[in-house]
Amino acid sequence: MSETKMWGGRFAAKTAESVEQYTASEQYDRELYAEDIRGSIAHAHMMGAQGVLTAEEVQTITSGLDQVREEIESGAFVWKRELEDVHMNIEARLTEIIGPLGGKLHTGRSRNDQIALDFRLYVTRRMNEWRGLLADLVASLGRRADEHRQTLLPGCTHMQPAQPVSLAHHLLAYAQMFMRDADRAGDCARRANVSPLGAAALAGTTYDFAPEAVAEELGMGGVFANSMDAVSDRDFVIEAVFTGSMIMAHLSRLCEEIIIWSNPAFGFVKLPDAYATGSSIMPQKKNPDVAELMRGKTGRVYGSLTTLMTLVKGLPLAYNRDMQEDKEPFFDADRTVRASVGIMADMVAELGFDADRMRQACARGYLNATELADYLASKGMPFREAHHVTGSAVGYAEKQGKGLEDLTLEELRQFSDMIEQDVFEALAYETAVARRETSGGTGPNSVTRQIETLRAWLTSMD
């Protein structure tokens, strides 16, 4: 009914039922209630300080808003579809509680700057939560790395055995990705945490407002510089969902490793029972469903990113109702990212790494071939030739069904008489790892430094 609409003054006929359904957002934007109320309280305080409201009016409005918040949190609040969105649901209830004074709250404000404020506060809060969850995941990876400094496994390129690395080094590579993701979430928060309040509908307001005071009360880092940009910019949401997409991409890579490693042909990892499921027909199965689902949910977050990028494409300034469609993709991505990061942290903590299987796999892939080539080069043979000689030795060893280190000195000397007894030291997998002490390499001292850096980073995140 037109007379029940807050904006119904110039409307003679009521909104069609189907249109009411179609345009309403209260069923999901109620998620923003806490930010909406915080923003309104800051707006009221600022109006009080600027002499637009009396101190008593401010007091009545803010205690009314506190009551609305309590009603929402206790479940007593009745959300009304016909009131469209979170803003008008809250304002209508405030007016029921405190009377016509409730109508003064919206002075100098539009839902356009109001929603931008609410969503910026909300995204900022979630980005800070992501940072915390990512820190827990990094801590979990760091602990497992610390336990497995001595565990060696085949490092791969092209998914083919390449050179031995420590499991610590492998896990710390993922820790680096998640540290960067946390950094990205922090960047997003910094740009999102800017107040648009005072932009009003699009052109600013005639009232003598102090947007900086609102920003300060809300703990925001600054205020808008252009009112049209303030009400129509949604890049802060897109950046956040991009960050979520990157997090999911990193998680899905780790998931893929867990899936492959848990295949008995690898047998590098035993899945904790709590993170695996059985098959209804094949009794022997233990399936890595959690890792598979996480890999699958990655697509869902990318979908949200695509939705948002498409949403803003070609939108003229300033606010357009299209923008209402920005909430659900963010909420969905946020739920997915938070759940996935949390579960991965717990799963990593419980993965049953099989160090013996990893060590055995090293012996199968000629992972020390580079060491033989380097050994020959260190004795003066040009590397190209050393590479060729080593290739022949690998071909020979393969025919014998042996590793390079299993050949006798005589067998090895068929390929070059530069080879001497000390070759066996060079061929040991431990040596191959231990010699890679350049910064960021897999050598044990380098790994220790990486773990120290990780710990310092975690402390900086507290």
Residue 85 within binding range of ligand ARG, rule CB under 6 A:
yes
Query: Strand 152-157 and strand 160-166: pairing?
Result: antiparallel
Looking at beta carbons only, is 114 or 336 nearer to ligand ARG? 114
SS3 readout for 323-370: HHHHHHHHHHHHHHHHHHHHHHHHHHHHCEECHHHHHHHHHHCCCCHH
Number of chain positions touching ligand ARG (CB under 6 A): 9
Please indicate whether residue 158 is annotated as part of the active site: yes
- Nearer of residues 245 and 324 to ligand ARG, judged by Cβ: 324
Per the CB < 8 A criterion, the answer to whether 375 and 426 are in contact is: yes
User: Which residue do the tokens 């925001």 mark?
Assistant: 220
Peptide bond into 116 cis (omega under 30): no
Q: Which stretch binds ligand ARG (CB under 6 A): 38-46, 109-117, 296-304, 355-363?
A: 109-117
Contacting residue, 324, 416, 442, 450, with ligand ARG by CB under 6 A = 324
Among 158, 313, 321, 399, binds ligand ARG (CB under 6 A): 321
Contacting range for ligand ARG; rule: CB under 6 A; set: 35-43, 107-115, 137-145, 344-352: 107-115
Told to check if 158 binds ligand ARG by CB under 6 A, we report no
Q: Is residue 227 part of the contact set for ligand ARG (CB under 6 A)? A: no
Kindly identify the residues of this chain, within the stretch 21-50, that bind ligand ARG according to CB under 6 A.
25, 29
Report how far apart, in Å, the C-alpha atoms of 335 and of each of 25, 130, 332, 339, 424 are: 18, 11, 5, 6, 53
In the block, tokens 């960067």 appear at: 180
Stretch touching ligand ARG by CB under 6 A, among 110-118, 207-215, 377-385, 429-437: 110-118
Exactly one of 158, 280, 439, 460 is catalytic; which is it? 158
Phi, psi of 164 (to 5 degrees): -70, 145
111 is an interface residue for ligand ARG by CB under 6 A: yes
Closer by beta carbon to ligand ARG, 28 or else 266? 28
Calculate the alpha carbon distances from 121 to 37, 195, 280, 321 in Å. 11, 9, 46, 20
Residue in 421, 443, 420 with CA at minimum distance from that of residue 432: 443
Host H or E run for residue 119 = helix 111-147
Both tokens of residue 390?
A: 């080593």
Restricted to residues 112-131, the positions that interact with ligand ARG (CB under 6 A) are: 112, 115
Q: Which residue has the tokens 């997090």?
A: 247
State the minimum distance, in angstroms, from the CB of residue 19 to ligand ARG.
13
- The pattern of x and - marking residues 398 through 417 that bind ligand ARG according to CB under 6 A reads --------------------
CB of 241 to ligand ARG, least distance (A): 16
Q: Is 148 one of the annotated active-site residues of the chain?
A: no
Short-list 154, 166, 197, 180, CA closest to 50: 197
Which residues participate in catalysis according to the annotation? 158, 279
Residues near ligand ARG, by CB under 6 A: 25, 29, 85, 111-112, 115, 321, 323-324
